[in-house]
Amino acid sequence: MHLYLASTSPARLATLRAVGIEPIAIAPGVDEEAAVEAAAADVPGGVLPAPDMVQLLARLKAEAVLDAAVLSEAGLSADELDGLILGGDSAFELDGVVYGKPHEPAVARARWLAQRGRSGVLHSGHWLIDHRGGRVNGAIGRASRATVHFADDIETAEIDAYIATGEPLRVAGAFTIDSKGAGFIDRIEGDPHTVVGLSVPLLRKLVHELGGRWTDLWNR
């Protein structure tokens, strides 16, 4: 059973490979900022709660794979699409404020100065479409969360050195637990895979709820 990953995240790809799944990765090409802005316009206060935001983007990414143009960019055709399609998205919440990827060094630095010695919540959205047999048979999704506790003895020089690697610029919350940022995390409450961006236990449950078998995805 094929798994199509509607994401270009190296961390999600590595996570799936580590549990025995070699997915077919497809860049979904979703305008995330525009999608969130449009959805937030219908919400009181104009701000989407973090779980709703990551679920919205996860769903849009998975659904984008059904578009012929997106498939063509990936070198595939609609006739070849046969399996499960997974979309994912993550965001970090600190003091009720939701943060995505910082992109700029100055932004990442400000976030680290604010979050060292403190705790925040990493939200990861999942949306799984059953496209076995070449047609949509159903879809399901849920968000997972994990609380991240940052060390309180992180030196500013360490923060600057970490930002200089470029790693925190490309990830939600400006940190990782599976690479250089791991040393700055004291502990995690919840599924650690959620912090990487894909909860493996939750994915297994979603596969089962769609009538699939987790072990049928093992192809490595």
Task: With CA atoms as reference, report the closest residue to 192 among 141, 144, 128.
Answer: 144
Whether 128 and 140 have beta carbons less than 8 Å apart is answered as yes
Whether 17 and 215 have beta carbons less than 8 Å apart is answered as no
In the chain, the amino acid numbered 1 is M
Is 31 a known active-site residue?
no
Whether 84 and 131 have beta carbons less than 8 Å apart is answered as yes
* DSSP β-ladder status, 2-6 and 24-25: parallel
Q: What CA–CA distances, in Å, run from 153 to 40, 45, 139, 159, 187? A: 37, 36, 44, 11, 14
**Exactly one of 89, 152, 191, 216 is catalytic; which is it?**
89
Q: Which positions are catalytic? A: 89
